[in-house]
Structure 1
Amino acid sequence: MAKVTQPPPLSPLGNAVAGSLGAIFALSITYPLDIIKTRLQVQSKDSKDICDDYYESTIDAIRKMLKAEGILGLYTGLPSGLIGVASTNFTYFYWYSFIRTRYQQARSTSSLSTAEELILGALAGALAQIFTIPVSVVTTRQQTSSITERKSLINTAKEITHEDGITGLWKGLGPSLVLCINPAITYGAFERFKDIMLKRNFNLTPGLIFCLGALSKTIATVVTYPYIMAKVRLQWKPPKKKVAVDGVEDEGDKQAFDVDSQNRKANSVKNKGAIAVLSQAILFYAKEYITQYTIILFVLIGRLSNRKLK
């Protein structure tokens, strides 16, 4: 099995490129599971008798979606999803690398405590969320819309702004900012685990990177899952049939904690959390390799620039 060696540090821009490419790769592989995860998150036990597309499990969701929408149904909202994950991870990795490097330089240390990793990660996550949440809102709306109500990326954004104004594109920002601790825990734990492995002379093989990524995301998901649910349900637009039957309307940010408490009772972490863990593990796996090629690319660009200057 090939070994993943520690590459020299990248610039914040290089880390942002590697992170966004790794995220695109991971989402491309796991997108059908991602859309199923989102649909499972927005449904509740109460809607079982009134919704034709209620899903009992991940397998049941795949079967029903293939029957109703075909294979393309599993990729509904993929363009906006890729834009969203690329922009979010680009922004996050850029700010995380920038802030972390500057902090290490100010402290004259290469080793940070767990608390410091969490704080720096949360700060980078907050900046990423503020800039990129509109794409997340559009993607969630596309993923959860029925075939008859589904619109393109641009038209979905127009519909949201028409119904809720421009601020509608930032719906769910409250729990999203709380969720900044999710990537903070994930990446902070991953860096700590890597440091421990390296200090004990473990080789960072692809398998080990995958396992460390999965473990880090599992910890973050267990801690923050109620807020993940709250964010998705705030961004979701209930189908017309459901609104007509039980009067469900979109909730505002101020109801996030009410949504949170309802979801803890109505939903299980099991299927949905596992999908997030798998996607994150693949992201870390891909990023470790992409980082090396990004370093090579930046070195080549630098050499070409120097030749032109000469």
Structure 2
Amino acid sequence: MASVLSYESLVHAVAGAVGSVTAMTVFFPLDTARLRLQVDEKRKSKTTHMVLLEIIKEEGLLAPYRGWFPVISSLCCSNFVYFYTFNSLKAVWVKGQRSTTGKDLVVGFVAGVVNVLLTTPLWVVNTRLKLQGAKFRNEDIVPTNYKGIIDAFHQIIRDEGILALWNGTFPSLLLVFNPAIQFMFYEGLKRQLLKKRMKLSSLDVFIIGAISKAIATTVTYPMQTVQSILRFGHHRLNPENRTLGSLRNVLYLLHQRVKRFGIMGLYKGLEAKLLQTVLTAALMFLVYEKLTAATFTVMGLKNVRKR
């Protein structure tokens, strides 16, 4: 119990939250472009910079930062939960011993599931607020009128029921495999490089980290697209099953996407997502590692769990 409530876990949680908020703020417009490309199927522009230029021209200079506060709030809570759960479970399970790849994968998966179940309502609300007021090309999308985070929660519960706050939970749980895929490719690439040299440079680590994240994102991107559509909640779904996030609706949305736009329709917005994911992850972990190390130094504690 002491390990779960330790200052060390709290430091990791706060550092992870601050790192993610910093990185997302810097690269927020890329996420805006990605979300528009995923949700607004009839948008003709295919590239990130063209979508951002359209948004600025039609909706104003600050439009790429629409919904910044709810996204940052959700991201802060999400990363706090993930880092705290991950480090607490790791402390309980490892208990001072050297961690293994298998243990890291299991702990990461469990932390991801806990994070999804606790924070999905926040992501549903921030997805809708981020898209509110957008000029869509798809006439099937019903506009919303939320005054803020609290009002969005109130209207969703009143009009759609409390379970609507967990729209997209099923694909979100499947996306917990994203970091597992990333870790698998990262370790494989690292082993291949170590066969040719004694030690990896910082550039080596950055490149294989970027490649592994790009592969994980590409593999799981169709599920991320479905997740965004379900969270937005203003598309026509399978009339035989209105349970948002169910396996049937996930398969239905995937099928409809491919039917209308071909297999590449599943990857609309991938360019923006890859740019945002790789750059944001790199900056997040930089801030996270520096802040964690500085905090432990100030507190006079030893960071016993090196990654």
Computed over aligned residues only, the root mean square deviation of the Cα atoms, in angstroms, reads: 3.2
Q: Which amino acid aligns with 1:135?
A: L
Map residues 229-268 of structure 1 onto 2, 5 A cutoff: 229-238=225-234, 252-254=244-246, 255-263=249-257, 265=263, 266-268=265-267
User: Alignment identity in percent?
Assistant: 28
Aligned to 2:112: 125
Higher helix share: 1
Q: Are the aligned partners of 1:125 and 1:184 in contact in 2 as well (CA < 8 Å)?
A: no
Q: Secondary structure at the match of 2:45?
A: coil
Aligned to 1:295: 296
Q: Which amino acid aligns with 1:284?
A: F
Map residues 144-163 of structure 1 onto 2, 5 A cutoff: 144-147=131-134, 149-151=144-146, 152-163=148-159
List gaps (5 residues or longer) in structure 1: 1-9, 49-53, 301-310
Shift of 1:210: 4.1
Map residues 7-22 of structure 1 onto 2, 5 A cutoff: 11-22=8-19
The TM-score, its normalising length taken from structure 1, stands at 0.76
Q: Secondary structure at the match of 1:252?
A: coil
Distance in 2 between residues matched to 1:139 and 1:188, nearest whole Å: 31
Q: 1:137 aligns with which of 119, 124, 128?
A: 124
* Alignment coverage as a number of residue pairs: 273
Aligned to 2:178: 182
User: 1:92/1:230 Cα in 2 relative to 1: closer, same or farther (>3 Å)?
Assistant: same
Aligned to 1:39: 36
Q: Which amino acid aligns with 1:122?
A: F
Shift of 1:35: 1.2
Shift of 1:134: 1.0
Q: 1:97 aligns with which of 83, 87, 94?
A: 87
Q: 2:207 aligns with which of 190, 193, 211?
A: 211
Q: Are the aligned partners of 2:30 and 2:273 in contact in 1 as well (CA < 8 Å)?
A: no
The TM-score, its normalising length taken from structure 2, stands at 0.77
Shift of 1:297: 4.3
Q: Secondary structure at the match of 1:71?
A: coil
Shift of 1:188: 7.0
Shift of 1:116: 3.3
Deviation string, structure 1 residues 82-101 (Cα, Å, up to 9, x no partner): 11111111111111112223
Distance in 1 between residues matched to 2:35 and 2:272, nearest whole Å: 8
Shift of 1:251: 6.9
User: 1:196/1:16 Cα in 2 relative to 1: closer, same or farther (>3 Å)?
Assistant: farther
Q: Which amino acid aligns with 2:169?
A: L
Deviation string, structure 1 residues 83-136 (Cα, Å, up to 9, x no partner): 11111111111111122232222xx741413x4332221110000111111111
Aligned to 1:112: 100
Distance in 2 between residues matched to 1:55 and 1:67, nearest whole Å: 14
User: 1:86/1:180 Cα in 2 relative to 1: closer, same or farther (>3 Å)?
Assistant: same
Deviation string, structure 1 residues 283-303 (Cα, Å, up to 9, x no partner): 122222222222234439xxx
Shift of 1:80: 0.7
Q: Which amino acid aligns with 2:52?
A: I
Distance in 2 between residues matched to 1:191 and 1:259, nearest whole Å: 34
